[in-house]
Amino acid sequence: MIRTFIIFCFLFFIILTTYWISNQPGQITMEWFGYQIGMPSWLFVFFFVFFTLALSFILALGNFIIHFPAKWRLKKKQKNQEKGLAILSQTILTIAAGDTTKANSLIKQSVHYLGTSPLTLLLSAQIAQLAGDEKEAQKYFLSMQQNDQTEFLGSRGLITQSLQHDDIHQALLLTKNAMQKNGQNPWLIKTYLNLNFRLQNWQNCLDILDQAKKIGVLTQIEAIRYRAVIYTEQLRLKLSSILNNSDQIKENLDLLQRILGWAPHLIFAVILKSWFLNQLSTPRQLLKYIEKNWGVTPHPILADLYIKNFDKNKSPILAAQKLASFNPNHYISFITIAKVAIQEKKWDIARTSLNQAQHTGPLTIELCHLMIKIEEQGFHDPVQVNHWLDKLSKAEPNYGWVCKSCNYENNSWQACCPRCHNFDTIDWRLASTLIIAMDKNNLSLNQINYQEPIVNIKNPHDPNNLKQSIEIDKNTIDINPSQQQLKEEQTSVDAARLVN
C-alpha cells in the first residue's frame, strides 16, 4: 500500500513538472561547429533527461557485464557451501551411528562441495580411525598440520596415535614440537608432563611444574605434592649410594626435610628420613620421629627401626606396645605387637593382639599365617590350625605398596605405577584384590610371601647392617585344601629392596 502510494506520488510529480515546463514559453539556441541550433526549452529538457537516463543505463549494463562472473561464482560457492554443510551435518550423524562406509561416501561428497576444509579433514581423520585405517588417519592428521586453523588438532591426533601404539618417545617428540607454537595449551602441558613421568625424566617434570601451575593444569597444592613425590623418587633411585656415605645422608636429610614440609604424610619420605637418622646413629631423635609419625603413617619398616633402637635393657614387646600406643586401633600396631610376641614366644600376648587386629579391618593372609603359627607352635592345637587354614583360603590380601588406580601390588614404592603408569598412585594400603607384583628378576609365584618381617639387625648403627637380610620364619604351612603347599622361604627386606 505504501509502495503504491509512493509510485503514484512520483508519477504525479513527473506529470506536473512536464505540464509546467510545456507551458513555459522560451527558446534555447546554441552554436556548434558553425551550425546554429534552436529548440523550445521543453524539448531541450526532454533530450537532456533522455540522454542522462540512457547514459545511466549503459553504465549500469557495463557494470553488470563486468561483475557478473564474480557474482555468479560467489553465488555458486554459497550454494555449494549450503549443500556441503548439509552433507557434513548428515556425516556427523552417520559417524555417531558408527556407519563408516556411508560416512566415507558422504565426506567425499562434502569435499566435492567444500574442498579440503579444516572440518572435512577432521571428519575424514575420524572416519579413518573408526574404520581402523590408521595410515589413512595419519595422512589426514599430517594434512591438518599444514593448516594454521587445524595444526594443533593434527598434532594432537598424531600424539594420540603414538600413545595408542605405545610409542612414548615419538609421542614426546611430537608433543615438544607442538609446544613450540602452543606452549600454553593445557592439554599439551598435561601430556608432556605425563609422558615424562612414564619415561622417568624427572628433571623435565620439575622444569614444567611451574608452567603447569601457571596455566591451571595443576593447582598449587597438586604442584607442591608433585614436586615432593619427584624429589622422593630421585632419592629412591640413588638410595644405595647415599646409605654408604654419611655426608650424602646429611645433605639429603635437608632435602627430605623440605619434602616432608611439602608432603608431611608421604610415607616413603618418612621411611627414608627414619633410615637416614638410623644411619647417623641418632636413636633418640629417631624414636621421637617415628613416634610422631606413627599416628598417621604406620609401616612395618618404621616398627623395625623403632624396636631395634629402643632401650636394650627393656623388652622388645614393651617397645612394640609403646609404639602401638601412638596409634592404638590400627591394624599394623596390633600386627607389630603380635610379631614381636611370637619372636619372644609370648603366645598369649600374640594371640590377644591378633584377635584385636581382626576388629580393625578385613581378615588378611598375614594374620592367618601368624595365627596358624601361634596355634601350631605355641598351643599345639591342630583343631585351631585347621580352623585358620580354612580361613586362609578366604583371606584378603595383606598391606602392600598398592596402586590406587589399577590395584596393582608392587614390590616397593615408586613415583609411577609400573602397570598403569599413573603418577603418585602407589601407597601403603590394603589391596581389594590380590595382584601379585612380578619384578624384573622374574620372581615366581611360590616365592611370594605374605608376611611383613620384623627387622633382625644386630647393630642398627652399622651402615652395612641395614642391607643385611631380615629373617622370617622358615616353616612350611599348608594353605590350600587341595594339598598344594606353599613354602615360606627366608626373605630379605632391606634398603636395596626399595630400589628394585
199 in a domain, yes or no?
A: no
Query: Residue 117: which pLDDT band, with cuts at 50, 70 and 90?
Result: confident
How large is the average pLDDT for residues 370-390? 94
Min mean pLDDT across 7-11, 200-204, 439-443 is at: 439-443
Determine the pLDDT at residue 432.
65
- 161 CB contacts (<8 Å, ≥6 apart)? 134, 137, 138, 141
Between 28 and 66, name the one with better pLDDT. 66
Among the ranges given (2-6, 329-333, 441-445), the one the predictor scored with the smallest mean pLDDT: 441-445
pLDDT tens digits, residue range 346-356? 999 999 999 99
Q: Within this chain, do residues 156 and 244 fall inside the same structural domain, yes or no? A: no
CA distance 494 to 117: 62
- DSSP per-residue string spanning 266-307: -HHHHHHHHHHHHHTT-HHHHHHHHHHHHTT---HHHHHHHH
Whether residue 485 sits in one domain with residue 346: yes
In this structure, are 238 and 103 located in the same domain?
no
User: What's this model's pTM, rounded to 2 decimal places?
Assistant: 0.69
Judgement on whether residues 238 and 101 belong to the same structural domain of the protein: no
Q: What is the pLDDT of residue 89?
A: 80
Under a CB-based contact definition with an 8 Å cutoff, are residues 155 and 174 in contact?
Answer: yes
Q: Could you tell me if 312 and 172 lie in one domain?
A: no
Residue 33 within a domain = no
429 and 315 co-located in one domain:
yes
Please state, in angstroms and rounded to a whole number, the distance separating the CA atoms of residues 468 and 457: 7
CATH number for 339: 1.25.40.10
Number of residues that make up the chain: 500
Q: Based on the domain organization, do 183 and 246 belong to the same domain?
A: no
Higher pLDDT, 370 or 41: 370
Q: Are residues 146 and 251 in the same domain?
A: no
- How many whole angstroms separate alpha carbon 332 and alpha carbon 493? 17
Residue 106 resides in a domain? yes
Shared-domain flag, residues 170 and 279 = no
Task: Mean pLDDT check: name the lowest of 17-31, 47-61, 303-317, 405-419.
Answer: 17-31
In this predicted model, what pLDDT tens digit does every residue of 45-88 receive, in sequence order? 777 888 888 998 899 888 889 988 888 888 887 787 777 778 77
Provide the 10 A C-beta neighbour count for residue 98.
9
The residue out of 187, 212, 244 marking a domain boundary is: 187
User: What is the CB-side half-sphere exposure of residue 311 using CA atoms within 13 A?
Assistant: 8
**How confident is the model over 180-200, as a mean pLDDT?**
92
- Tell me the pLDDT tens digit for each residue of 214-246: 999 999 999 999 999 999 999 999 988 888 888
Residues 181, 283 within the same domain? no
Residue with the larger pLDDT of the pair 175 and 78: 175
Residue 149 domain flag: yes
Read off the pLDDT band of 179 (50, 70, 90).
very high
Q: Establish if 58 belongs to a structural domain.
A: no
* Cell, residue 211: 608452567
Q: Which residue has the higher pLDDT, 497 or 301?
A: 301
Instruction: Report the distance separating Cα 106 and Cα 468, nearest Å.
Output: 71
Residues 135 and 256 in one domain: no
DSSP 3-state of 129: helix
Chosen domain end from 138, 167, 187: 187
Asked if residue 242 is part of any domain, the answer here is: yes
Which stretch, 78-82, 125-129, 198-202, 481-485, has highest mean pLDDT?
Answer: 198-202
pLDDT tens, position by position, 307-351: 999 988 899 999 999 999 999 999 999 999 999 999 999 999 999
Q: Is 143 among the domain residues?
A: yes
Query: Could you tell me if residue 18 is inside a domain?
Result: no
Total count of domains within the chain: 2
pLDDT at 139 over 80: yes
User: Could you tell me if 421 and 326 lie in one domain?
Assistant: yes
Range with the poorest average pLDDT among 95-104, 108-117, 382-391, 482-491: 482-491
Q: Using a CB cutoff of 8 Å and minimum separation of 24, what contacts does 150-156 make?
A: 150/118, 150/121, 150/122, 151/181, 152/178, 152/181, 152/182, 152/185, 153/118, 153/122, 155/182, 156/187
Instruction: Please choose, from the candidates 358, 364, 373, the residue with its C-alpha nearest in 3D space to the C-alpha of residue 409.
Output: 364
CB of 229 within 8 A of CB of 415?
Answer: yes
More confident residue, 72 or 399: 399
**Residue range of the domain that includes 431:** 220-499
Q: What is the CATH number of the domain that holds 177?
A: 1.25.40
In the predicted model, is pLDDT for residue 251 greater than 80?
Answer: yes
Please tell me the predicted confidence (pLDDT) of residue 388.
Answer: 95
Burial (CB < 10 A; 0-12, 13-18, 19+), residue 154, is buried
Examine the pLDDT at 301 and tell me if it is beyond 70: yes
